[in-house]
Structure 1
Amino acid sequence: MDINSFKIEDFYVESLGETKVESPLYKSYSGTEIVKEFVKDDQRVLYDASLESFKKAMESGNEPISFEKAGPRKDLFFNPANTKAAIVTCGGLCPGLNNVIRSLVMGLYYRYGVKNIVGIPYGYQGLNPEYGHKFINLTPEVVKDIHLFGGSILGSSRGRQDISMMVDTLERNNINMLFTIGGDGTLAGNYVIAEEIERRGLKIALAGLPKTIDNDVNFIQKTFGFETAFTTAAPILRDAHNEATGAYNGIAIVKLMGRDSGFIAATAALAMPDVNFVLVPENEFELKGENGFLNSLKQRVMERNHALVVVAEGAGQNLFTGGDVVKDASGNIKHKDIGLLLKDEIGAFFKEQGMEATVKYIDPSYIIRSEPANPSDSIFCTSLAMNAIHGAMAGKTGFVVGRWNNVFTYLPIPVATKTRKKIDVNGELWWSVLESTGQPMNMK
């Protein structure tokens, strides 16, 4: 992610038009007992909040890169009494989906008085009438307990649908705002829908909420579900460590999700510092050779008679040769199974070395992503949902809600989806992993 490849204007969110409706929050927030300061559109959050960056901006006279601050606006674009909202969840499951759905419904219904809310079933498929999926009426009674469960009550799907057909569906059903909950592919789809809506001259707000346990959305500190994912993974690593130490030269391999970014593997390893090797997509490694992974693993086992290896699903793809490139319905490359490769290669290597070894392989990925949100993620989901509502009601469109420097922001979707956020192998997170595991910096 090179911030210099962006212009200042890239970070300004689009709006549907002039805001003329007084927010119903104004009366409840401006009484004698409660005083709430509404956010103005010119309030912004600096990308780089360091003193050094501030001084450079002052010296150059150039406006620094910043993001629009999220929050309630005093004046709205939509009249709540005449507003119909829709919610859709796309892509793979993720902890917190039901929390976000619940918070969107509760916030729209009780805080703004929007009574007409529908859920679109099975992702963007639900906007394609050819599938025959029926909209779900969402009320506080319907969603009041869904946060207690993992998954999504709306269901989900991957893959693209015809943009014109989806906008036809929104227009035909008189939907004024669409909340899309998903990762970079979903968000990119959100923006393409917003462009078609603008081309037709329609007044429909498109708001995105960043859902991916991989935590790989640009200019967003944390995506919802990520914290639950590594928190759930940590005790699995503990148990894998116990399994490894329970056998002479025991080796446990745990594969965690992380197609292109290894944040879950790295963070879970820091949370459970019994891990000896963390393999991530950002740090290419080789199996064989004096400095390769297998030889480094051998040295570890010779010293301590056990080892715990954590590998992200997208790590080590350079080790596979031949075969066709296969993509999923969303257009993402389906990676080869690095976990099974490591299991086979480690077993064969120790046999060649004449060393006894017991290798165990654990893949808890689909269990982790189906977990209910933990308390911290639950709080985060509620804040994301409320800020998405504030933005959409004010007529903002084509944006995703995020958090930067611990402040909630509105970010134009194109800058969030231009590239994936990845671990900086020269940054603090990766250095912390190296210090915790003791693994070599490079295994090539």
Structure 2
Amino acid sequence: MDAAALPGRPNPSLRAAADGFGFVGDGEVVLKAVALHTAAAAAPVAGPDGLEVPAVARGAQDAAAYVRAGPRRTVYFDPRQVRAAIVTCGGIAPGLNTVIRAIVTTLTREYGVESVFGIQSGYRGFYAKNWLQLTPDVVADIHKVGGTYLGSSRGGHDTMKIVDALETRGINQLYVCGGDGTVAGARALQVEIAARRLPIAVCSLPKTVDDDLCVIDRSFGFETAVGEAQHAINAAAREAADFPNGIGLVKLMGRNSGFIAVHAALASGEADCVLIPESPFAIGGPDGLLAYIEAQLAAQGKVVIVVAEGAGQEHVAQAVDKPSCDASGNKLLSDIGLRLLNDIKAHFAAVGTEVSPKYIDPTYMVRSCPPCAGDSLLCTLLAHSAVHGLFAGFTGFMVGPVNGVNAYVPFDEVAGKKKVVDVAGGRLWLRLLSSTAQPDFAASSGERLSRAGSEVSGISTASL
């Protein structure tokens, strides 16, 4: 939607009465990259007190920037004519209800919108379910519980049917909560809406506990998931410590990326080994996982292993008659946790060593609980920013924190792409190796994920 082609009007919020307090200027942007690289070969320049400092390599920096999120002095929707719809798609995550509530209250209380609808059960709800009328009273207490008040589902995206429903119902603002697949669906809707020249603005809010959305610092639900995962790791460590040759094995979420496993392990400080999808590993052999576990038991009498659900899939047989993908197009995973548990039991039985393995799988616990304070705050601010963005005439964006500042990121930069842990020298992975003192299994086996350190096939890496 081209805001310049629309008639503008003063922002109706209370900010206008406060002489524009808190409005974002049209020229404010957020840089994609803020860490500058100095030119090693450049001549130093004189700094304060005569000290020499290296010159900055000009022209070599990533100058990409995004529009800063926030309320504008001029808006391009008449609140009396706004009909907004909210939908939640894919797996649930802590904070979804907080987002729903904050969108509704911002629309109604700050802008005076009277028609806000909730779409039940994900994308298919647009054409297969009754729509819910949402008011501040209806959503008053939903933020206190986990899950989504609207329900969710995978798949069900039918672009034509959804846009037909939006057009029939007179919707002109659409708020979509979901991960990269959901964003791809929102982008398809935006393209069709533009083709029909409909006055509908579309935005998405980043929902994935795996934190694998590109560009943004983090998605909502991740901080809560890491906290819950840390509890599981601590419990495994306690179990391992209290039994002879105790082995704590924890499987965490992380289909394509190991951010939950790495962050939770770093926060806990109890893990001796973390296995993630980005880093291949061998189970048997002198440089494999079982040999490492045996060495740790000999050295300290216990060991704690954390494995992300997408790790080591090459070691797990896929049932021939099992579907390869779910309704959202995600590859279905076999249970690497149970495979490792069985291999551990079989290995130590074969060598005649008594062990006490304890297996903990908190997968659905970490995503179904209410959000922590940090996620609640993030959800509220994202919802505010989303509403401000659509009223400002923007469309086709995901709102999220970029270097600590909320920004509007175009769908094309996130749809169909994945952020993964950089295991080819990334700081986050090196911190993990330092914390656990585990060997770099990928390096010792001569294997390395080819996508690490690159942006190939829609995958980008993160190094913190």
Does the TM-score normalized on the shorter chain lie above 0.5?
yes
Instruction: Compute the displacement of 1:88 (Å).
Output: 0.3
Matched residues in 1 for 2:156 and 2:100: separation? 22
Instruction: Compute the displacement of 1:48 (Å).
Output: 1.5
Matched residues in 1 for 2:3 and 2:359: separation? 50
Instruction: Compute the displacement of 1:14 (Å).
Output: 6.6
The CA deviation string for residues 338-392 of structure 1, in whole angstroms up to 9 with x for no partner, is 0000000011111122211111111111111100001110000000000000111
Cα distance change, pair 241–17 in 1 and its aligned pair in 2 (3 A): farther
Matched residues in 2 for 1:347 and 1:270: separation? 27
Q: Which amino acid in 2 is paired with 1:232?
A: E
Cα distance change, pair 248–389 in 1 and its aligned pair in 2 (3 A): same
2:298 paired residue number: 302
Q: Indicate the SS of the match to 1:310.
A: strand
Q: Indicate the SS of the match to 1:117.
A: strand
Contact 1:123 1:158 in 2 (8 A): yes
Cα distance change, pair 209–256 in 1 and its aligned pair in 2 (3 A): same
2:6 paired residue number: 18
2:245 paired residue number: 249
Cα distance change, pair 15–210 in 1 and its aligned pair in 2 (3 A): farther
1:292 paired residue number: 288
Choose from 18, 23, 37 the match for 1:52: 37
Q: Which amino acid in 2 is paired with 1:335?
A: L
Matched residues in 1 for 2:302 and 2:209: separation? 29
Q: Is 2:32 aligned against 1:36?
A: no
Matched residues in 1 for 2:25 and 2:200: separation? 21
- Of stretches 187-196 and 360-369 in structure 1, the one that deviates more from structure 2 is 360-369
Q: Is 2:87 aligned against 1:88?
A: yes
2:98 paired residue number: 99
Q: Which amino acid in 2 is paired with 1:99?
A: T
Matched residues in 2 for 1:304 and 1:225: separation? 35
The number of aligned residues is: 425
Cα distance change, pair 331–78 in 1 and its aligned pair in 2 (3 A): same
Flag structure 2 segments of 5+ consecutive residues without an equivalent.
40-54, 446-464
Contact 1:194 1:398 in 2 (8 A): yes
Contact 1:19 1:395 in 2 (8 A): no
Q: Indicate the SS of the match to 1:397.
A: coil
Contact 2:317 2:334 in 1 (8 A): no
Matched residues in 1 for 2:363 and 2:23: separation? 41
The CA deviation string for residues 263-287 of structure 1, in whole angstroms up to 9 with x for no partner, is 0011111111111111100111110
Matched residues in 1 for 2:253 and 2:238: separation? 22
Note the 1:69-148 alignment, pairs <5 A.
Answer: 69-128=68-127, 131=128, 133-148=129-144
Contact 1:14 1:398 in 2 (8 A): no
1:340 paired residue number: 338
1:9 paired residue number: none
Note the 1:6-405 alignment, pairs <5 A.
Answer: 17-25=5-13, 28-31=14-17, 36-52=21-37, 58-59=58-59, 64-128=63-127, 131=128, 133-321=129-317, 323-324=319-320, 326-405=324-403
Q: Indicate the SS of the match to 2:37.
A: helix
Contact 2:184 2:416 in 1 (8 A): no
Cα distance change, pair 415–361 in 1 and its aligned pair in 2 (3 A): same
Instruction: Compute the displacement of 1:437 (Å).
Output: 1.0
Q: Which amino acid in 1 is paired with 2:391?
A: M
Contact 1:16 1:396 in 2 (8 A): no
Q: Indicate the SS of the match to 1:300.
A: helix
Matched residues in 2 for 1:96 and 1:340: separation? 30
Matched residues in 1 for 2:376 and 2:270: separation? 28
Q: More helix by proportion, 1 or 2?
A: 1
Q: Which amino acid in 2 is paired with 1:162?
A: D
Cα distance change, pair 17–418 in 1 and its aligned pair in 2 (3 A): farther
Q: Which amino acid in 2 is paired with 1:47?
A: K
Q: Aligned Cα RMSD in Å?
A: 1.9
Q: Which amino acid in 2 is paired with 1:95?
A: P
Matched residues in 2 for 1:187 and 1:105: separation? 21
Instruction: Compute the displacement of 1:30 (Å).
Output: 4.5
Instruction: Compute the displacement of 1:57 (Å).
Output: 7.6
Contact 1:262 1:280 in 2 (8 A): yes
- TM-score normalised according to structure 2 size: 0.88
Q: Indicate the SS of the match to 2:218.
A: coil
Matched residues in 2 for 1:194 and 1:276: separation? 46
Cα distance change, pair 386–57 in 1 and its aligned pair in 2 (3 A): farther
Matched residues in 1 for 2:202 and 2:20: separation? 30
Cα distance change, pair 100–174 in 1 and its aligned pair in 2 (3 A): same
The CA deviation string for residues 125-173 of structure 1, in whole angstroms up to 9 with x for no partner, is 1112xx3x11111000000111100000100000032211110000111
1:7 paired residue number: none
Matched residues in 2 for 1:264 and 1:63: separation? 28
2:434 paired residue number: 435
Matched residues in 1 for 2:5 and 2:340: separation? 55
Matched residues in 2 for 1:226 and 1:47: separation? 21
Matched residues in 1 for 2:2 and 2:228: separation? 38
Larger RCO, structures 1/2 (Cα 8 Å, 6+ apart) = 1
Matched residues in 1 for 2:279 and 2:4: separation? 43
- TM-score normalised according to structure 1 size: 0.92
Q: Which amino acid in 1 is paired with 2:12?
A: P
Instruction: Compute the displacement of 1:405 (Å).
Output: 1.0
Q: Which amino acid in 2 is paired with 1:238?
A: N
Q: Indicate the SS of the match to 1:179.
A: strand
Cα distance change, pair 213–52 in 1 and its aligned pair in 2 (3 A): same
Instruction: Compute the displacement of 1:17 (Å).
Output: 3.9
Q: Indicate the SS of the match to 1:351.
A: helix
